[in-house]
Structure 1
Amino acid sequence: MRKLLLVISLLFCLAIAGKAQYYLRGEIRDEKGNEISNVKTFLFSRGYIGFLSSSFGIPSRLSIDTITLIAEGYETLKSPVQTNKFQKLVMKMQQATARLTQQHLSSVTKNLKTNRQTIFPQEGESYTNLVENNFVSTLQAPETGFALHVDRAAYSNIRRFLTNDNPAPPDAVRIEEMLNYFNFTLPAVDEDDEEAPARGFTCATQLTTTPWNKENQLLFVNLKAPKLNLAGLPPSNLVFLIDVSGSMDKPNRLPLIQSAFKLLVENLRAIDTVSIVVYGGDIGVKLAPTSGADKQKINDAIDLLVPNGDTPGAGAIKLAYTKAEQSFNSKGNNRVIMATDGDFNVGETSEKALEDLITKEKMSGIYLTCLGVGMGNYKDSKLEMLAKRGNGNFAYLDNINEAEKVLITEFTKTLYAVASDAFVNITFNPKMVKEYRLIGFDNKLDALSDSTSELEGGEVGSGHSMVAVFEIVPQISNKTLTNNDTLIAGRYGSIKLHYKLPSEKKEKIVQQFTIPINYVPIEQADETIRFATSVAMFGELLKQSRFVKDYTWDNAKLLAQQAGKKKLSPLQTEYLGLLDKAKKIYAPAKKKKKNGSEED
């Protein structure tokens, strides 16, 4: 009997121990330390648990259990865990996911280390912290590269600051976008060449004097995309994603966007479809897919929009892509057009969270165009990032004229891509080029500090003409180049252009060009070269760059005026006015005291 009681007591103790509860706490991150959410989880002692967030706490029946984690884009993790200790679980990205989440560069020079520089924050508005490109030794790093894109938001945003008698934040000044704004085309590229689309991109280069350093040279590289035949444009499946939150309740925000979209509607055809998704107090579909022929119905839906509530941007982006996928046209132009001040304040609001979201969405084959508006709380950095990671483009609308330029005058450049993931590699000849500096295409501070960063290609619209400018420290003087015909047969380097057709996801096209020695003094250079030089220097002065200490606003204006022997266009005339405004803001005239001395 005593033996039986002992056995019963032992079994009772074991049963209690079997029901004993432990509590497993921990966190789930990737190899870079970023949090991972929505992780499907199993415990050996309990089976399927459900989906965990990055930080978790779950009961367990064992002091040492086994956890299994499954998440999209990551390798499955199965690991023993001590349930009485906090667990730091690290999931390894699959190779394809790792590529998508890499920091992306606007330009790159191989084997080059970059130092951190000063960050210039702008109160109320957010801009990406940029590091200006420095001179690079050709012997140490002969190859460099930059991304192609049609973004031109920086120029109209700068115009907004100057028009309001305010200096532009240095990080708001992206010189490549300022040059993009004017769509410069060098003379060697024939605008009316009907065979250009069959050949792909055309390329022209020009060497001239650097106005702020007569010993140096400027190299202009002009890449022009082929034009689509307007009569044969593919059907468009467009989703207007419109911010109607309370922050949009100002004349230069929602009303401007409504007017802009109504201009766009006038260009739509019966084969095009439009859906409207809005986000403000809530997220919703205001217009189901509607033919472009039914312009009144589309415009009525636009007119009914009223600003109200918070800004749940992330959820709205997901819904817009869902609507675009439901109407997806495999032979058409599928695009979300997002219009906002970028001030997301509900849901996923950090740039990193939004970046991860848009990176996944772009794999659907849907392009993204971002239209920024507003001032004071305008989030330039978020919209720029969304456009670039969403395989799209970015513009800033400061007035209705800019809306007409972006959505009517440059309709095909904005909405119809002819190339994606486009970037350029340039290899300089060390016998001709001692050092070089890429003007513009400055990189984000955090991307430069990430050793896994890679060059990110961009989207190029139909017929877009992009100009990049290098400052060159030559091995042979400008005077020698001018007077020595035997050097003309030489080469400054070579250009390799990489891109994909919008319909192709994997196959890359490579075009190669050479950089001839075609030096011309700036005084004799083509008008386009002189005006583009002035615009580049306008940007350098706005950034207060250390490279142009002896160059003035008057120098930039004189160069632009000399380039206008023919009648100036309205854009060029406006540009001269902006130079005058900038001079008053950045270099105000000194007042004379009664005794003849000067004071600020």
Structure 2
Amino acid sequence: MKKVRWVLYCLLFFTTAQAQYYLRGEVKNERGQWLQGARINLSSKGSFPYYSGSSGTFGISVSKITDTIRISRDGYEDLTVVIDTRKFQSLLMKMLPTTAHLYNRKLASLTTNLRRQKNNSFSVPGESYSNLVENDFIEADKYPETGFALNINKASYSNIRRFLSNEMMVPIDAVRIEEMLNYFDFTQAPAPQQQGYFNCRSQLTSCPWEEKNQLLFLHVTAPKLALDSIPPSNLVFLIDISGSMDKPNRLPLLQAAFTLLTDNLREKDTITIVTYGGGVGIALPPTSGAQKKKIRQAIDSLVASGDTPGEDAIHIAYELARRSFIKKGNNRVILATDGDFNIGQTSEAALEDMIAGYKQTGIYLTCLGVGMGNYKDSKLEALAKKGNGNFAYLDNLQEAQKTLVTEFTQTLYAVANNAFLKIGFLPNTIKQYRLIGFDNKLHAAEDSTSELEGGEIGSGHSLMAIFEIVPGKQTTATPLLANAYIQYRLPGSDSSRKQNFPVLQQVQPIAATDSAYRFAAAVAMFGSILKKSIYTRNYLPEDVWTLAQSAVNLQHPQQVELLALIEKAIKIYQPGKRKKNEK
């Protein structure tokens, strides 16, 4: 009997010593957002890591009632705390200052302490666009310095083309003039005035829509990567295959687009394909770019169906990109969708907050929009800008080829991050100025805590920015009109660089200046008329056609196409009208 008692006692002791507990908990930040992918270490488990799931939750089997948990995540302070493993743990991580500022509202351009007026606009049923506030004239003596973000986004132009090609008026907020200008290559303009990482040249001309004013052109050109020095790529294709994509100009167009991109892949590139529609799936695990047949087969096998769990898909895509991360490589998620998220986070604000947490991972985001009728431009624009990336709209296969083949390195390889240009006008040189394009979202413009957000610049990108200027009454003896500088960071670096440029006040009649500047003025004028700007209210598309026709280069198909689009606009926007100032 004593022997039996001894055996029972030993069994009871052993069971107690090896008792298992299930530690459950969640990881959030100070904004109450669940943090996916937070690394979790327990003292009882040594160095073995665990990670929080897509909703920030975790569950771990442990053998101790008391343990020490350590949580770490990029952009957050490490958290170490002693816990009772029997209780549910709600753990709060504190953002580092560099992460916290990412959640502030961001501006495309910034001049402080200005009151904005709302624009009247119309919408297209089923589609969504950010409500924009057009930049006003600013008193130069009160606010001599202004700035704007540099980026390679071009979505607005091809979306405008879609409306005009379908003989439809263009929604006012769909017109982003800086993206219209981005669409064209202005490298035929005169040779750069100076050398550096960026080239920037300026030109001051008369204004074609206001004879008393002048136009200041700033032409910025980014460095171009040599083909033999392009780093290896880790690309995750994140493709929307939900039911809304079951139309010829959606999933089939994207399949053709990604097939074109596949032709440019190299053996050292890694490709992963994630799909979402009814659920999230991995259509292709990490695969070498040399296995083109396997990649094409995965792309061809996609079929559209189900709802749109975009939020979960984005989390999984970033996690897969993180696992295949290439140091000093090109790590990028390419999201292709009509933007019609209907599961999980669906508002622009929620999507911005979600994607901002990934900005410091070193993983870029390219958004490719497709479709019409339920196209959500505002959501894709928000994701691209917050996700350290760029944004294009594919309205046809030719546009897909331009974006992913002709401009392959420009779209997918960054040469600068957080890039913006600031310009300070010298005293008494001008009376007023306004930046054409780079309009801010209404809510960001009204928020006094908003900051100027720089953008991603791709290899060899050419950007044209235009100011309309009201000259001062007296001319100054100095040849300088303003001083400008570009601030940027090199990919993989946290330190900012600055490059200065002089802006001269040598005025030329626009009719006598280089055709590149006249064509840029025509693009800006066209955009202003489409968005019903008060600054071009006395003008019609016919006037734009006259200016564009004098500048178009017949050897450039894209410039010739603009003339055709202006002709379509003349037919759509009441061609019988004449300028109000005509006698």
Which TM-score tier does this pair reach, normalised by the shorter chain?
0.7 to 0.9
Partner residue in 1 for 2:400: 403
Q: 1:533 aligns to what SS in structure 2?
A: helix
Question: Are the equivalent residues in 2 in contact too, given 1:111–1:141 (CA < 8 A)?
Answer: no
- Take 1:242 and 1:572, find their aligned partners in 2: how far apart are those partners? 31
Partner of 1:348: helix, strand, or coil? coil
The correspondence for 1:132, drawn from 122, 129, 134, is: 134
Q: For 1:335, what is the secondary structure of its paired residue?
A: strand
1:492 alignment partner in structure 2 = 481
The match for 1:183 is 185
What residue in structure 1 maps to residue 512 of structure 2? 524
- Please say if residues 493 and 514 of structure 1, whose CA atoms lie closer than 8 Å, have aligned partners that are also in contact: yes
Q: CA deviation at 1:351?
A: 1.5
Offset at residue 569 of structure 1 (A) = 1.7
AA of the residue aligned to 1:208 = T
Q: Which residue of 2 aligns with 1:157?
A: 159
Spell out, residue by residue over 1:297-316, the C-alpha distance to the aligned partner (whole angstroms, 9 max, x if none). Answer: 10000000000100000100
* Contact preservation (8 Å) 2:29, 2:95: no
Q: What's the CA shift for 1:583?
A: 1.2
1:431 to partner: Cα distance: 1.3
Q: How far did residue 74 of structure 1 move?
A: 9.1
Unaligned 5+ segments in structure 2 are 1-27, 39-51, 57-70, 80-91, 578-583
Corresponding residue of 2:568: 581
Counterpart position of 1:327 = 324
1:414 aligns with 2:411: yes
Are 2:358 and 1:361 aligned? Answer: yes
Specify the alignment match of 1:276 in structure 2: 273
Tell whether the 8 Å contact from 2:121 to 2:171 is kept in structure 1 after alignment: no
Q: Could you tell me how far apart the structure 1 residues matched to 2:451 and 2:384 are?
A: 17
Partner of 1:594: none
- Give the partner amino acid of 1:337: I
Deviation for aligned residue 1:75:
12
Does the CA contact (< 8 Å) of 1:120 and 1:129 recur in 2?
Answer: no
Matched, 1:457 2:445: no
Compute the displacement of 1:118 (Å). Answer: 3.5
**One-letter amino acid of the structure 2 residue matched with residue 529 of structure 1:** Y
Q: Aligned partners of 1:92, 1:319: CA distance in 2, in Å?
A: 23
Alignment correspondent of 1:84? none
The Cα shift of 1:231 comes to 1.4
Counterpart contact for 1:242–1:277, Cα < 8 Å: yes
2:497 aligns with 509
Partner of residue 267, structure 1: 264
Note if contact 2:121-2:172 (Cα within 8 Å) is conserved in structure 1. no
1: CA distance between counterparts of 2:350 and 2:554? 49
2:372 aligns to what?
Answer: 375
Q: Which has the larger radius of gyration?
A: 1
Note closer, same or farther for the CA distance 1:36–1:260 as it changes in structure 2 (3 Å cut): closer
* Residue 446 of structure 1: how far off its partner (Å): 0.6
**C-alpha deviation, 1:432, in angstroms:** 1.2
Cα distance change of structure 1 residues 285 and 294 upon mapping to structure 2, 3 Å threshold: same
Q: Which amino acid aligns with 1:347?
A: G
The residue matched to 2:358 in structure 1 has which SS?
Answer: helix
Q: 1:535 and 2:523 equivalent?
A: yes
Q: 1:342, 1:71 → 2: CA distance?
A: 32
Q: RMSD over aligned Cα, in angstroms?
A: 2.7
Of 325, 349, 352 in structure 2, the residue corresponding to residue 352 of structure 1 is: 349
Alignment-derived partner of residue 554 in structure 1: 542
Structure 2 SS opposite 1:574: helix
**Residue 215 of structure 1: SS of its match in structure 2?**
coil
| Equivalent pair of 1:189/1:202 in contact (CA under 8 Å) | no
* 1:214 corresponding residue in structure 2: 211
**Deviation string for 1:429-466 (max 9, x for gaps)?**
23111100000000000101211100000000000010
Q: Provide the rounded CA distance (Å) in 2 between the counterparts of 1:549 and 1:422.
A: 33
The whole-number CA distance in structure 1 between the counterparts of 2:549 and 2:432 is: 30
Contact 1:75–1:93 under 8 Å retained in 2 = no
Per the alignment, do residues 210 and 122 of structure 1 end up closer, same or farther by CA in structure 2, a change over 3 Å counting?
same
Contact 1:158 1:173 in 2 (8 A): yes
- Structure 2 distance, partners of 1:469, 1:574, is 22
Judge conservation of contact 1:189–1:203 (CA < 8 Å) in 2: no
Tell me which residue corresponds to 2:314. 317
Residue identity opposite 2:394 in structure 1: L
| Structure 1 gap segments, 5+ residues each | 1-27, 41-49, 55-69, 77-89, 591-600
Give the 3-state SS of the residue equivalent to 1:223 in structure 2.
Answer: strand
Compute the displacement of 1:37 (Å).
5.1
What amino acid does structure 2 have at the position aligned with 1:412?
Answer: T
Q: Which moved more, 1:296-305 or 1:515-524?
A: 515-524
Cα pair 2:141 2:428 within 8 Å, conserved: no
Q: What number of residue pairs does the alignment pair up?
A: 508
Instruction: Measure, in 1, the Cα distance between the counterparts of 2:503 and 2:132.
Output: 29
Relative distance call for 1:92 and 1:291 in structure 2 (3 A) is: closer
Displacement after TM superposition at 1:183 (Å): 2.2
Give the letter aligned to residue 274 of structure 1: I
User: 1:550: how far off?
Assistant: 2.0
Q: TM-score, normalised by structure 2?
A: 0.83
Q: How does 1:66-77 map to 2 (within 5 A)?
A: none
Question: Which TM-score applies when normalising by structure 1?
Answer: 0.80
SS of the equivalent of 1:510 reads strand
TM alignment of 1:28-43, pairs within 5 A: 36=33
1:163 is displaced (CA, Å) by 0.5
Shift of 1:35: 5.4
- Distance in 2, matches of 1:350 and 1:560, equals 39
SS in 2 for 1:459: strand
The question of whether the paired residues in 1 share the 8 Å contact of 2:554 and 2:560 is answered with no
Query: What does 1:16-165 align with in structure 2 at a 5 Å threshold?
Result: 36=33, 95-118=97-120, 120-165=122-167
